[in-house]
Every structure is written in structure tokens, then in C-alpha cells.
Amino acid sequence: MRNTNLKNEEVPALRFEVVAQDEAARAGVIKTRRGEIETPVFMPVGTAGTVKGIRFEELESTDLNARVILGNTYHLWLRPGIEVIKAAGGLHRFIGWNRALLTDSGGFQVWSLGSLRKISEEGTEFRSHVDGSLRFLSPEVSMEVQAALGSDIVMVFDECAPGQASHEETQRSMELTTRWARRSKSAFDRFQNEEADSGRANTTDDLSGRQALFGIVQGASHLDLRRRSLEQTVEIGFDGYAIGGLSVGEEKSTMFEVIEEIALRMPRDRPRYLMGVGTPEDLVEAVARGVDMFDCVLPTRNGRTGQAFTSRGKLNIKNAQFAKDPRPLDESCQCSVCRRHSRSYLRHLYTAGEMLASILLTHHNLAFFLDTMRRVRQSIRSGDFPKFRREFMERLGANGE
């Protein structure tokens, strides 16, 4: 039970503890109101209230054991809409998932609409891709929607600058993000006070049961702007910090330059989240630069287009070379798909247009991403991360495709 002697402000929404560090790589535990999350962690993306192609039982199974998944504010707000989700008692109950949920703010999705949206100081106006209606998303609306969704980790509403944006353009965008972060924080606090005792979420003795709020560092590839964005974001004060606006068309070397510059300057006692990145090798490389949390659509999206991620690199199941291949997708993977099915069978399913192809490839891909993170955590805890990283990269480099 909550200690009623403490005011909500005095009890944090989440706790983060670093339990081991190997050079810049850290292994930790995030304690949320819905269970503990060991880091570094990969969060499967559940865009519209579903991690596409996979049942929640499987996400919870020992094969995958995902501790936290993502929901997209933009998509859920447009369809089914917050009234439907509120009526169900929040997003967890609506989708049937009792573990932690992180929701993004919708900022990236509306930004991705390109010429279909209009950004002003107040927020972003755009046309819904669902019914063509004119909609308006702002820091206040995003916080209201995320409060209604009841996610455990809420993201501030931010603006993303294109990877190739000029210094001037990026600075304008970054400063807007800072002003939106301040507005997000005050709107968030207002909604938390309203919902403080709704009793919707399970909570533990030393957590307030409130939602947690993460700030986002922007600034494209301009390191001085990234540093300033970080300073301004930390000054506002958040439960965790994210690096946004990467993997949006910039060079990979630029992406790692930004991560290297920013991650280690982020508060050591808060989780560091790299948004929307990336391949298994990107994840391992970012962990080596001090990042704790990741999300990406690659394992699910590519699974649906016939691409498998393996310890020896990517494999395209459509290729004729797999027609009679009796081996599993990945000979060193222990997932239920690799234990049971051959490449030959998976290729047959895919070419026949069977939906099971997408389901099985998605399952394996998620298992591979989550298992990679599990091995990353173990290697950091045992002080073997540099060796793990070297061998992981060598094996990927040795792939036959």
C-alpha cells in the first residue's frame, strides 16, 4: 500500500539503478509500477494496440519475455480514439497486457506526415489518415491522450528536424522542442494530480503509482545544438531522457557521433532511451556508448516482408537457395520457431502467401532481438561486454548473404 504520509511529489514514478558497468555499457533495472525491466532493453513496437503478428501470450512467454512494449499515441488517438480506450479502463485493459507500456507522444508521426501537416508555436495541425478530418496535436493534447491511455512511461511532445537540416533550421526546431517540453511537463503534472488516486495502476511501496515522463533531446546532427538541447531538457527535469531524431536519413557514422556525444552526458541516475533505432548491431554499438533502452519496428516489419535477423546477419526467406534448406533460420537460436521449423518450410509458407509466414518470422525476429539484449546484459554483468561485442560483430560480418 502507498505510504499516505508521503505526498505524491516525494515518491518517484519509477526507480532506476545501475547494477553493473563495463566501460560505458551499463546494466541496470528500471522499477516501474508494473514490474521491473532489466536494461539494456529492447521494446517491441505495438503501434495500434498490437505488436503486429504476435499474441500477447507469446510476448510474455520465456521465448520472448518482453517486459515493456510501445504504443503509439497518434495511431490510438485517431483510432479507436481515447473515448473507447477510456471506456475499457485504459490501454492495458483494452489490449490485455499487464506489463509496462511506453507511449510515444505522436510528435514523430505527425512530423513524418511531411507536407500534410502545419507546425506552429501552438502545435501541429494535420489531416487524419483514417478519415481525412482536420486534427490538432499539441503538448497539452498529447499529455491528455497519454494520461487517458494510462501508459507507464509517457514521452514529451517534441519536434524532429530533418537529418540534413541547416544549423539555423535545427536550432529553431530544437528550441521549439524545449518550449514544448516545458508545456508537456506542466500539462503532465496537471493530469497526474487529477488522476493521482484513481487507483488504476498497481503500485508498490516505494513508487507513487503515477505515470513517468521522459524528456527528448533533439538537434539533428549538430553537436552544439544537441548539447544545448540536453542541458535545457535536464534543467526542466524528467524521470528519464531520450535521444530523438536519429535514424531519419543521416549517415550511420553521424548517428553514432551524436550518441557518443550525448549519451554519456545524460544524467547517470536516469534511463537513457535511443528512440526508433535500429538493427541488432546498432543496438549493441549504442549500448557500448551508454544507452539503456531501444525500440524499433524492424523485427516486426521486416518479419512481414520475409526478412529474418540472425546471428550471422540478415536472411531473406524468399531466396531460392532456401527451397530445400532443412536448417532453422538461425542455428544458434533457441526460439520455438527455430526449434520446430526449417527454412524450406518457412520459404514455402512465404511464397504461398500464408499468414503463418509473417507470424513465425516475426516471432523469431523478436526472439533474436530480445535474446541479444539478454546476452548483452549478461556480458555487462560478468565484465565480458567488449568480448561479446567483438564476437557478435565478427559473426554478423561472416554472414553468407
Q: What are the backbone angles phi and psi of residue 3, rounded to the nearest 5°?
A: -75, 110
Q: Report in angstroms how near the CB of residue 331 gets to Zn ion at its nearest.
A: 9
Q: Report in angstroms how near the CB of residue 11 gets to Zn ion at its nearest.
A: 41
283/335 with CB nearer Zn ion: 335
Query: Following CA atoms 52, 102, 295, 185 in sequence, which dihedral angle do they give, to the nearest 10 degrees?
Result: 140
By CB under 5 A, tell whether 361 contacts Zn ion. no
Three-class secondary structure of residue 343 per DSSP: helix
Beta strands in 105-249 (DSSP E): 117-119, 124-127, 134-137, 153-155, 212-217, 240-243
198/334 with CB nearer Zn ion: 334
Binding piece for Zn ion, criterion CB under 5 A, among 34-42, 123-131, 138-146, 332-340: 332-340
Q: Report in angstroms how near the CB of residue 338 gets to Zn ion at its nearest.
A: 3
194/331 with CB nearer Zn ion: 331
Beta carbons of 103 and 146 less than 8 angstroms apart: yes
Q: Which residues of 306-331 are buried (b: 16+ CB within 10 A; e: fewer)?
A: bbbbbbbbebebeeeebeebeebbbe
H or E segment at 336?
helix 336-340
Nearest to 67 by CA among 155, 152, 154: 152
H or E segment at 20?
strand 15-22
Q: Report in angstroms how near the CB of residue 297 gets to Zn ion at its nearest.
A: 19
Q: Report in angstroms how near the CB of residue 347 gets to Zn ion at its nearest.
A: 15
Point out the catalytic residue in the list 104, 152, 292, 330.
104
Active site residue 197: no
Residues 6 or more apart in contact with residue 297 via CB below 8 angstroms: 45, 47
Binding piece for Zn ion, criterion CB under 5 A, among 9-17, 64-72, 230-238, 333-341: 333-341
151/372 with CB nearer Zn ion: 372
How many chain residues bind Zn ion (CB under 5 A)? 5
Binding piece for Zn ion, criterion CB under 5 A, among 254-262, 336-344, 369-377, 381-389: 336-344
Beta carbons of 397 and 281 less than 8 angstroms apart: no
Between CA 296 and CA 8 the distance in angstroms is 33
239/371 with CB nearer Zn ion: 371
Three-class secondary structure of residue 215 per DSSP: strand
| DSSP secondary structure, 31-79, as one string | EETTEEEEESEEEEEETTSS-TT--HHHHHSTTT--SEEEEEHHHHHHT
Which grid coordinates belong to 255?
Answer: 548517428
Active site residue 104: yes
> Residues 284-323 vs Zn ion: string with x where CB under 5 A?
----------------------------------------
Q: Report in angstroms how near the CB of residue 335 gets to Zn ion at its nearest.
A: 3
By CB under 5 A, tell whether 338 contacts Zn ion. yes
Answer for which of 54, 333, 370, 396 binds Zn ion (CB under 5 A) is 333
154/333 with CB nearer Zn ion: 333
Nearest to 34 by CA among 206, 152, 200: 152
Beta carbons of 267 and 234 less than 8 angstroms apart: yes
Q: Report in angstroms how near the CB of residue 364 gets to Zn ion at its nearest.
A: 4
Q: Report in angstroms how near the CB of residue 375 gets to Zn ion at its nearest.
A: 14
Which grid coordinates belong to 146?
Answer: 497519454
Binding piece for Zn ion, criterion CB under 5 A, among 42-50, 203-211, 356-364, 377-385: 356-364
Q: Between helices 167-195 and 223-236, what is the axis angle to 10°?
A: 20
Binding piece for Zn ion, criterion CB under 5 A, among 39-47, 197-205, 245-253, 364-372: 364-372
Point out the catalytic residue in the list 63, 282, 295, 330.
295
270/304 with CB nearer Zn ion: 304
By CB under 5 A, tell whether 364 contacts Zn ion. yes
Binding piece for Zn ion, criterion CB under 5 A, among 38-46, 162-170, 184-192, 361-369: 361-369
Instruction: Give the active site residues.
Output: 104, 295
Residues in contact with Zn ion by the rule CB under 5 A? 333, 335, 337-338, 364
